[in-house]
Amino acid sequence: MRQQSFSSLEQAHKKKRTKREVFLGEMDAVVPWARIEALIAPHYARPRKGRPQMPLSVMLRIYFLQQWYDLSDPGAEEALYDIHSMRDFAGLDLGQDAVPDETTILNFRHFLERHKLTETLFSAVTEYLEEKSLLLRGGTIMDATLIAASPSTKNKERKRDPEMSQTKKGNQWYFGMKAHIGVDARSGLVHTVKTTTAKVHDAKMTDNLIRADDVVVFGDKGYVSDKRKRAARRAGVLWAVKDKRKRGRVLSSSQRKRNKKHGAVRAKVEHVFRIVKCQFGYRKVRYRGSAKNAAQMFSLMALANLYIARRSLRAEPL
């Protein structure tokens, strides 16, 4: 049995658990670690020279901490030295274990990006939730959110990120990317994730977010399309996209009532964005280029799904 250090023993006898400790305890209990590690391990376990490779379980947990607390690679290293609950979650003890430095953390992130393993991670979590009968089929809510990118040109190229773009929303201009998601209409869990630059209109991604067996589709006014509405009716699909006022006209009382009724269901998608932006702190892209930020979005949505379903998952054995 592994001997605990003095600092670990002191923490074990605390009289109160912090909010961070409660959160990490909940997530530790609901993440399907064995399933995810089994998918990553074949790419990770490679013969190498030099210092021993950090265990996959440790690096994966540190990567998740980065997503939950919006930590950079240097920030993650410092947090592991400063915060006991994070070290404990990662399975590290300062008295016995080496804490991975920022380069090791960066290399692991690049490894996940290079092998497209964050998309694999999202798919694994989705399948896991389907097996638990938490992510259901039959209806989809579509929505998109803008994620800002730095407009600064203070870099070597003296240019903004060429893989981002700007768009106007209301009377304000935004520069960055968009995350488009399809959410299960009953559970509120994400089943599809797509990313584009900010200038891509929401409606262009409609076909990428709807599942073949959906019988009802919800969306805001950005997805209005008479052509798709007619096609949905012919296919027996309820097109529950909010009606948009046409120029020179006003919405009828029945249209307003319909919008209110469908809007109550569509609001579930906003809960996902609240978790990612407000709870996980992901309000601005951290990296340059679309590929790195798309990879991170798959991870964030997988973890948001697990957070939404955490109470149901903890109510039954994993």
Domain contains 233: yes
Q: For residues 99 and 146, state if they share a domain.
A: no
| Same domain membership, residue 102 and residue 216 | no
The residue length of the chain stands at 318
Q: What is the pLDDT of residues 259-277, one digit of tens each?
A: 999 988 999 999 999 999 9
Is residue 1 assigned to a domain?
no
Domain end point (choices 85, 115, 145) = 115
In a domain, 303, yes or no: no
Domain annotation covers residue 269: yes
Number of neighbours of residue 28 by Cβ within 10 angstroms: 13
User: Which pLDDT value is given to residue 49?
Assistant: 66
Is there a single domain that holds both residue 83 and residue 179?
Answer: no
Q: What is the pLDDT of residue 1?
A: 46
Q: Which residues pair with 184 in a beta bridge?
A: 140
**Residue 296 within a domain:** no
Instruction: Give a yes or no: residue 49 inside a domain.
Output: yes
Same domain, 105 and 152: no
Q: Do 233 and 269 reside in the same domain of the chain?
A: yes
pLDDT for 198: 94
Cα→Cα distances 318→30, 33, 145, 231, Å: 7, 10, 32, 41
Query: Cα–chain-centroid distance for residue 274?
Result: 11
Number of structural domains the chain divides into? 2
d(CA 304, CA 298): 10
CB 67 within 8 A of CB 27: no
| 141 and 111, same domain (yes or no) | no
Residues 162, 42, single domain; the answer is no
Inside any domain, residue 18: yes
Q: What is the pLDDT along the chain (318 residues), one digit of tens a residue?
A: 455 555 555 555 566 889 999 999 999 999 999 999 999 999 997 666 666 789 999 999 999 999 999 999 999 999 999 999 999 999 998 888 889 999 999 999 999 999 999 999 999 999 999 999 999 888 999 999 999 998 888 777 778 899 999 998 888 899 999 999 999 999 999 999 999 999 999 999 999 999 999 999 999 999 999 899 999 999 999 999 998 888 888 888 998 999 999 988 999 999 999 999 999 999 999 999 999 999 999 999 999 999 999 999 987 654
| Predicted pLDDT at 47 | 61
Consecutive H or E run containing 139: strand 139-148
Q: Can you tell me whether residue 225 is helix, strand or coil?
A: coil
Identify whether residues 92 and 201 lie together within a single domain.
no
On whether the CB atoms of residues 33 and 309 are closer than 8 A, the answer is no
131 within some domain: no
Q: Which domain holds residue 172?
A: 137-287
- Would you say 279 and 100 are in contact if contact means Cβ atoms under 8 Å apart? no
Together in a domain, 261 and 214: yes
Whether residue 165 is found in the same domain as residue 95: no
pLDDT digits (tens, 9 = 90+) for 114-153: 999 999 999 999 999 999 999 988 899 999 999 999 888 8
**CATH number of the domain bearing residue 168:** 3.30.420
Contacts of 171 by beta carbon, 8 Å cutoff, 6+ apart? none
Q: Do 92 and 197 sit in the same domain of this protein?
A: no
The three-state secondary structure class of 141 is: strand
Co-location of 163 and 280 in the same domain:
yes
